[in-house]
Amino acid sequence: MKKNSYCMVVLLLCWAGEATNAQSQSPAPAPAPEYVNLTDLLLVAGPFHTFLNYLQTTKVIQVFQNAANNSDVGITIFVPRDSAFSTSVQHRLSNLTQDQLKSLCLFHALNRYYPLSNFTDLSRQNPVPTLAGGGLYSINFTDHSGTISIDSGWTRTRVTSAVHAAVPVAIYQVDGVLLPEAIFGTDIPPTPAPAPAPAATAHTPTPAADLAPAADVRRGGGRGSGSSSYAAPRMILDLGLLVSLLLCAPLLFHGF
């Protein structure tokens, strides 16, 4: 009996040791996923320093980064090149408040990840809300044979390249700054019409009255030349008749 009890104790101790070893050898937790650092990416991916500066001064870069870290939803960002910030655009932006600048930066992003292949379907859902909101903060997409255009009302620009496109972050380069109607108003000035091409010089018919003198000159000249050409023969004919009369005159008088 004692022998059996001893064996049971040994078996229990062995089982407890194996359980302890199994717990100590459990796999380590998976490492946290690596997130895209938007600041670093925009610094090295292209000439986006001006837009990045606006994102940092308005602290919108942190809003974008938080969305980029959310792998379930993600974010799509449209980044203007430095050359898009022309003098006239910078003048407009210099008159905005800090809140308006923040809204303008948010206006350049959508609240989920969209690959380029989704923009055809996205264009059928116009207008599309942005991170700045809906309504006058919405934008419209157009897909022309793979060329994606974005219309904000004040601005019509196009996607020129994909800077980064991997779930959950899509960053696309655009060649213009998106200006929302919510900030700049709906009274959008018309786009200047292109200058008309110079018209071809048309031949204007000359009135008949203007041509009459020339015609008369031509006709008069014709008569003049005709008179000159017929004057000598006629004079010869007249002289011939006169000579004939003189020669025939004696005969006529002789007959009488």
Taking only the tens place, the pLDDT of each residue in 42-61 is 999 989 999 999 999 999 99
Comparison of pLDDT for 169 and 196, the residue scoring more: 169
Q: Which of 103-112, 117-126, 185-194, 241-250 has the lowest mean pLDDT?
A: 241-250
For residues 137 and 180, the answer to whether their CB atoms sit within 8 Å is yes
Residue 50, CA distances (Å) to 12, 42, 45, 46, 98 in order: 71, 10, 13, 11, 16
Looking at this protein, which amino acid is placed at residue 134?
A: G
Q: Which of 31-40, 119-128, 166-175, 222-231 has the lowest mean pLDDT?
A: 222-231
Q: Which residues of 241-254 are buried (b: 16+ CB within 10 A; e: fewer)?
A: eeeeeeeeeeeeee
Extract the tokens encoding 192: 């200047």
Q: Which of 8-22, 97-111, 179-193, 209-223 has the lowest mean pLDDT?
A: 209-223
Extract the tokens encoding 46: 């292209």
Q: Which of 150, 140, 146, 151 is nearest to 117 (CA)?
A: 146
Extract the tokens encoding 111: 């609240």
For residues 105 and 54, the answer to whether their CB atoms sit within 8 Å is yes
What is residue 54's predicted lDDT score, i.e. its pLDDT? 98
Does the pLDDT value for residue 79 go beyond 60?
A: yes
Which of the four pLDDT bands, split at 50, 70 and 90, describes residue 228? very low
pTM value is: 0.64
Q: What does the radius of gyration of the chain's CA atoms come to, in whole angstroms? A: 49
What is residue 212's predicted lDDT score, i.e. its pLDDT? 45
Question: What's the CATH architecture for 38-184?
Answer: Roll (2.30)
Looking at this protein, which amino acid is placed at residue 124?
A: R
What is residue 51's predicted lDDT score, i.e. its pLDDT? 98
